[in-house]
Amino acid sequence: MSNKQTLSFHVSGMHCASCASNTTRKLSKAPGVTSASVNYANEQATVTINDQETSIEKLADAVKSLGYKAHFEADTEVADKERAKELKSLKNKLIVSGVLAAILMMSMIPGLPEIFHNPWLLWLLATPIQFWAGQRFYKGAWSGLKNRTTNMDTLVALGTSVAYFYSAMVTVFGQWFAERGIETHVYFEASAAIIAFILLGKFLEIRAKAQTSSAIKELLNLQAKTALIKKSGEWVEVAIDMVKVDDILLVKPGQKIPVDGEVVKGQTSIDESMVTGESLPVSKTVGDSVVGATINQSGSIEIKATKIGSETMLANIIRLVKEAQGSRPPIQALVDTIAAYFVPVVIVTALITFTIWMLIGPEPRFLFALVSMINVLIIACPCALGLATPTSLMVGMGKGARLGVLIKDAQALEVANKIKAVVFDKTGTLTEGKPKVQQAIFIKKSAQQQILSSIKAVEELSHHPLAQSLVEFAQVNLDKKTPFLTVSDFKDISGKGVQAQVGKQQLLIGNEKLLADHQVNISAEIKNQALALKEKGQTLVFMSVDKKMEALFSIADGLKESSLEVVKSLKQDGIASIMLTGDNQQTAEAIAREVGIEEIIAEVLPADKERVVRELRKKHQVVAMVGDGINDAPALATADVGIAMGGGTDVAIESAGITLLRSDISLVPVAIKLSKVTMKNIKQNLFWAFAYNTVLIPVAMGALYPVWGVLLNPMLAGAAMAFSSVSVVFNALRLKTIKL
């Protein structure tokens, strides 16, 4: 029996998108690996394995064979540590290479003392840049060669090496060339400047990339670092990772709740804005649950730890954000394919360029052809292509997490950009989800207390929101002397109500369909009263005892304040709003009129919601479903994009591609707008990356020479290549400032 699991780990040492593509292919071919994906932007690898056929060690070896390093530590700061280490090394090499390159470039200035033009001095200054500062390019190129792959390092190593070694040959054999009338020139300053420019670009890129993952850092900073735990009757401060399930913890006023738990002593108010977005504190007493990282405000409480470490709500949010940032949208597939073939195509293009200019180029042909070939090798940039999508995704999803919109994967983000219609569940989504009994009609007034007592006993066994409202109504209106009733044969009939035995009496509590199924007669008077209540938008609950109608309750659930604005906002964006509910048609229509929804699908059983959503997809092409209950889960999974309310059930949240961290429907248009601006940003990046390579590679080949007699300087090629990657990252960072 196979035992599949998904692992995520950090990969350090990658220099470009081709590195990530090569690593993906290497991991995919490893024994026991069913799928693999490596994200260059956040340097994360996600691998699905059969742990009976492979191991962490084998995966690490596969990554190591390419010249990179895999980090499987649970420490979430590994990436930051590795990035800081790389930045420090880059900074040192950048300073040295920058100073030496500046001196070398002075050789291009006429009129300076001869020493600045001495090729032997230039060679001496260029050598540490080429082999010390440029070591990373040679290592990367060699690893690629060993594994029969190519990457950006291959291009840089080839281009600068050609310039360096040609210059060295000219320096040593200069007299030989001069005697034969062959014009020569050294390019030490070009190779040195190229390496310095690329190192500068890489330094800026890594620093900028660090900002793209700031959302994760902010979430991590929310966690408490220590906890007060009860040991041998005393409170002892320990590291948060020492806390175990069922431990008793003390939380003082002003402190963060260390882990998810349950209050066992004391009462207080807690700031849960981190989770709910609500600014008002929430009262907590014995038996109430608390969420880790929320802030205790007023009183000291003792809590029992129920979820720790990776099981806490905050840890799950962080995990989902990281997984989402590392996921790939469908648009990335084309980019990955291009990146895989990019470097070999560039090398072939460079050789073709050299050959053409050697045949038809101006004198000195060899120098002209050589410079053109170097330009092609240097200016081509697979990094810009590789960074275009993942950097935008990371920033966009990070922004979403800050706003309370948790996007589970990149596909959901891409599809949300195309939404044409949003299907809303009514109860708990458009409405508050706290229905209250508005009116009670008893056939026999004398039996009121008995009926209320029976309703309370039966509906306490149900989890339906309407059941809770009936229980609350009964509790308020019951005499305190009412005896406890025994309930047996309780049945929850989906979409209709409940059936139960109370003593010797059979009770039916539910909608009109339930009573009809059991041949319960409803008088014309009650039907007329029911119709009038329906027209007011109220939900009706009928009750019968031994197949005799005994009571009618009208229940109403108030609209959320934001529902009207949400529907209006969606309409302005050309997105239709649809209400899908199990409630009766009249009630649904009344609510729809109030909120401004034109398309209504009512009296839908939970089992049919999936089918209805599937039909709506055919009609509206791309459909989102917003819901919060267990009965919404199949529909959420069937929709093109499922949007779960944060206060909903776990199964609903699992079924959805987007989760609203708080039960705030106004986040629905925010999520859609976030998708639109992120996808627009991705398209801008891809356009720039493709345009850059499409325009500048021909320029590097010498396309401008026949028209204007212009040949690109290799140093400018290096600068352009560095700028292309940096510009893509900085464009992605603009998403942080966009208002939604």
Query: Which residue numbers are catalytic?
Result: 425
575, 565 Cβ separation under 8 angstroms? no
Of the candidates 539, 569, 546, 521, which has an alpha carbon nearest to the alpha carbon of residue 666?
A: 569
Q: State both tokens at 583.
A: 């409630």
- Cα–Cα distance for residue pair 499/519, rounded to 1 Å: 14
Q: What are the DSSP E strand ranges found in 559-633?
A: 576-580, 599-601, 623-627
- 364 upstream amide cis, omega within 30 of 0: yes
Q: State both tokens at 234.
A: 């005393």
| DSSP string for 243-296 | --TT-EEEE-TTPBP-SEEEEEE--EEEE-HHHH---S-EEE-TT-EE-TT-EE
Q: State both tokens at 255.
A: 């402190």
Contacts of 216 (CB under 8 A, 6+ apart): 76, 318, 321, 322, 325, 398
Expressed in angstroms, the distance from the first to the final Cα of the chain is 48
- Cα–Cα distance for residue pair 501/517, rounded to 1 Å: 17
Strands 69-71 and 576-580: unpaired
Phi, psi dihedrals of residue 410, rounded to the nearest 5°: -65, -30
Q: What is the CA radius of gyration of the chain?
A: 34
Supply the angle between the helices 714-733 and 382-403 in degrees, to the nearest 10. 20
Of the candidates 481, 475, 476, which has an alpha carbon nearest to the alpha carbon of residue 459?
A: 475
